[in-house]
Structures are given as structure tokens and as C-alpha cells.
Amino acid sequence: MAKKQIAEGLNGLLAPTTKGTTTEAATDQGRKVVLSFSVDEKTAENLRYVAYYDRKTQSAVIAEALAEYFAKWTPAPQEKPRKL
């Protein structure tokens, strides 16, 4: 009996889920890429603060800030511009 309960529990954990919220979010914004970078402690603290009070993930705060930066960015005069 215990083996049957363990097997049923494991099958429930390993069965595919139907939620799919992560997949939907990934397809809305395109393919996600994991990046790793270093920032000073004050910047990391500010990032956590903004994310907490805006009720967003830290990734969402960074993505929003970078999108705004890229929208305003212009290349240096000597560089050949490319589409972002």
C-alpha cells in the first residue's frame, strides 16, 4: 500500500502541468536568454527595492529599464547605425 501511495505521489509530481504561464510569457516577448553580470551593492539594493515596491520581478525591472535606454540610444557619429 505504501509503495502505491509513493508511486501515485511521484506520478503526480512528474506529470506535465497545464498552467503554462512561463511559456506564454516567453512567447510574448520572444526567446529568453540568461545573462550574468556584476553590479555594485547599492545598485543591487536599489533594484530589489524598485522590484519589491512595483511588485515586479528584478528581471522585469531590468528589461523595462533597458527597453527605455535602447529607445533613446543613438550611435556615435563615426559608427554606422544598425537597427536595434
Least confident among 4-13, 44-53, 73-82: 4-13
pLDDT, position 2: 72
Under a CB-based contact definition with an 8 Å cutoff, are residues 51 and 57 in contact? yes
pLDDT, position 18: 56
- The grid coordinates listed for 80 are 554606422
Determine whether 52 is exposed, middle or buried from the number of CB atoms within 10 Å of its CB (0-12, 13-18, 19+). Answer: exposed
Integer angstrom CA distances of residue 2 from 6, 7, 9, 10, 17: 6, 9, 11, 12, 25
What is the pLDDT confidence band of residue 77, given thresholds at 50, 70 and 90? confident
Where do the structural domains in the chain lie, given as residue ranges?
40-73
The per-residue pLDDT for range 10-65, each reduced to its tens digit, is: 666 666 655 544 545 554 668 889 989 899 999 999 999 999 999 999 999 999 99
